[in-house]
Amino acid sequence: MKRLLGKTGAVCVSILVCLNMTMGMSLADEQSTKDQEKKEVHIENLTPLKDIYKGKFLIGNIYNSINLTGVDRDMVLHHFNVVTPENMMKPDAMQLQKGVFTFESADAMTGFCQENGLKTVGHTLAWHSQTPDWMNAACGREEAIGRLRDHISNVAGHYSGKLLSWDVVNEAIQDGAKLPADGNWKSCLRDTPWLRNIGTDYIELAFQFAHEADPNAKLYYNDYNLNDNNKAEIAAAMYTDLKKKGIPIDGIGMQAHYSTTLPVATVEHSLELFKKTGAEISITELDVVVSKAKETGLTKEEEIAQAQTYAQLFRLYNQYSDVIERVTFWGYTDTRSWRSSSFPCLFDGDYKAKEAYYAVADPDGYLNKHPLKEIPEPNTINAVKGTPVIDGTVDEIWNQAKEEPVRIMTMAWQGATGTVKTLWDEKNIYVLVRVKDKTLNTDSKNAYEQDSVELFLDENNDKSYYYQEDDGQFRVSCKNMVTFGSNGKREGFQSSVKVTEDGYLVEAKIPLTTTAEKGKVMGFDVQINDSNERGERISVAKFNDDSDNSWQSTARWGNLLLKE
């Protein structure tokens, strides 16, 4: 995932975009077939998931050419009743060269589905990623409209009447955007070649072209991180506006690339929001990675934690089955998942059911047997009253403040750590963070992957599952480059950075939206992002929040107590 926000993990990564190329998958498929021949792998005689949820919603999974034969064919036919091609219908797979369409693999898929009574989802028509260079190249508006029309007309037209639905537009909302007060969702769009070449109406045009080419298929907008309140509000506004204009859009697809630290309440909030718009909802790319999983595999405790997350999700999906059309998993075995290093699927590499399968099969029963642990009491840091000068020099007044550790690792078992001190006056919170990190790097274009410190403040300390107006996320790199998270920029924020012998020091002033007073408790957290020499984030350390959701939820932040 590529975000301004400070989420750890792949998100959606995020979280959250499958970048396996078709050729790469073919090699993996070939190797997987050879491995099966050696092991003579067979699927287990388990109750099919599609039967368990019959009458509620469809149960789906990804499709690759390997699913035509062997145990992978058996797995799909046994458990699922709808498939989505993982890569073979993306723009670069369909039309790598202008005017040359490659339908063979997808034709084999639709034939397989028709022969075996499976429904098929088309994925995807208009996207900025996995799109050929010629299609993304700069050009005039009319030429770009022609490219969009020709691609959609040929691809959707070729499969007209054969598919359940299309993911028409994929991932068009800018990460970190927030719906303005006037509801103008178009101001929140990602800067993509389609937007630059055509304008904001490329989304309307894509849906119109898709409907003309395949009038009986359901048409979806699909995106990741739609459990983030800001992004969900933008998607809901988009859907409502398009519907009002008579644009043929039917539903919203929630990709659902999650982790075991997911606050499931954020998913419920978005489901309720989308339900109110009247949109049909599909869970389009579900998987749940295990945070900090070791490459040797999951422990029993980790497998249960993953299963608990799946159980919570399916308990929720059951509650919203009146508006959910399908739930599609993005992979069935861990070893062939695009997030394989974190073991996200229901079945292991030998096609054996993990705890997650049993959690999906019986969510309530699983949670009764494995009840959720209560969230521990948050760590508290005391802020002493005082006003320092923000210049990277540690004023004497900082000696009055107690130092607290920042060392709860949420992404890896080791990496950069640090300490934090806090001060306050009526108008501001002051923070001093010392980071121990011998390798400093800011090469990544993603601010959250650079060596940096993130500060989180919730003035009302309501521990909510999404950001409210008083909440803020503030990021300062080791070179003092400042960026902001979910609620955007806050005027008056000030920072200074000083490189030290063993890392760097960040001193910052966070302006308050209310007047501070002695005894008040605010929500507060600190995050240290650790980059390696290649510009890759390799670890995250926190003051309190052990999840990877501080960028969108205040629920597990620590406390900040204002004292004299």
Q: According to CATH, where is 2.60.40.1190 located in the chain?
A: 380-563
Task: Please compute the mean of the pLDDT values over residues 220-235 and round it to a whole number.
Answer: 96
- The amino acid at 501: E
Set 86, 204, 214, 223: catalytic member: 223
Q: Structurally, what CATH architecture does the domain formed by 380-563 represent?
A: Sandwich (2.60)
Average pLDDT, the chain: 92
- For the chain, helix, strand, coil in percent to 5 are 30, 25, 40
Nearest-angstrom CA–CA distance, 164 and 216:
8
Output the pLDDT for position 486: 76
**Which residues in 504-520 are b (16+ Cβ under 10 Å) and which e?**
bbbbbbbebeeebeeeb
Read off the pLDDT of residues 440-464 as tens digits, 9 standing for 90 and up.
999 999 999 999 999 999 999 999 9
pLDDT of 414? 87
Mean pLDDT of 371-400: 95
Residue 8: phi, psi to the nearest 5? -90, 170
Both tokens of residue 359? 């959690």
pLDDT at residue number 49 = 98
- pLDDT more than 90, % of the chain: 87
- pLDDT of the residue at 460: 96
- Reported as type and span, the H/E element at residue 306 is helix 300-319
User: What per-residue confidence (pLDDT) applies to 548?
Assistant: 86
Set 285, 437, 458, 459: catalytic member:
285
* More confident position, 414 or 67: 67
Of 217, 288, 283, nearest to 252 (Cα)? 283
3-class SS of residue 20: coil
Which is more confidently placed, 189 or 34?
Answer: 189
Mean pLDDT, rounded, for 196-221: 98
Distance of CA 406 to the CA centre of its chain: 25
11-37+58-284 CATH, one of 3.60.10.10, 3.30.479.20, 3.20.20.80, 1.10.10.10: 3.20.20.80
The reply to whether 404 belongs to the active site is no
β-strands 417-424, 452-458 pairing: unpaired
- What is the predicted pLDDT for the residue at 491? 93
CB 19 within 8 A of CB 130: yes
- Whether the CB-CB separation of 169 and 126 falls below 8 Å is answered with yes
How large is the angle between the packed helices 229-244 and 202-213, nearest 10 degrees? Answer: 60
In this prediction, residue 106 carries a pLDDT of 98
DSSP state of 356: H
Query: What's residue 102's pLDDT?
Result: 97
pLDDT tens digits for 306-363?
999 999 999 999 999 999 999 999 999 999 999 999 999 999 999 999 999 999 999 9
- Please identify which of the residues 72, 171, 525, 545 carries the catalytic annotation: 171
Looking at per-residue confidence, does 485 or 127 come out higher?
A: 127
According to the model, what pLDDT value does residue 480 have?
A: 98
Q: How confident is the model at residue 487, as a pLDDT?
A: 80
Question: Tens of pLDDT along 171-185?
Answer: 999 998 999 999 999
Cis ω for the linkage preceding 515 (within 30 of 0): no
pLDDT, tens digit (0-9, with 9 covering 90-100), for 83-112: 999 999 999 999 999 999 999 999 999 999
pLDDT (mean) for 518-530: 98
Looking at residue 398, what is its pLDDT? Answer: 98
- For this structure, is 228 an active site residue? no
301 is catalytic: no
Q: Residue 26 half-sphere exposure, CB side, CA atoms within 13 Å? A: 6
pLDDT in tens, 240-299: 999 999 999 999 999 999 999 999 999 999 999 999 999 999 999 999 999 888 989 999
Q: Name the residue with tokens 């020091």.
A: 505
All CATH 3.20.20.80 domain ranges of the chain, comma separated, are 11-37+58-284
Helix-helix angle 141-158:202-213, to 10 degrees: 30
CA 488 to each of CA 180, 472, 522, 526, 547: distance values in angstroms, whole numbers, following the listed order: 11, 8, 19, 17, 21
Q: What is the pLDDT of residue 39?
A: 60
Output phi, psi for 40, to 5 deg: 50, 55
| Per-residue pLDDT at 411 | 81
Question: In the predicted model, is pLDDT for residue 40 greater than 90?
Answer: no
Per residue in 531-557, pLDDT (tens digit) is 999 999 999 999 999 988 899 899 999
Phi, psi angle pair for 158, to nearest 5°: -60, -35
At residue 2, does pLDDT exceed 60?
Answer: no
- Binning pLDDT at 50, 70 and 90, where does residue 54 land? very high
Q: Which of 20, 17, 16, 11 is nearest to 411 (CA)?
A: 11
Q: Which two tokens stand for residue 75?
A: 């797995």
How high is the pLDDT of residue 17?
Answer: 38
Would you say how long the chain is, in residues? 564
Quote the pTM value. 0.86
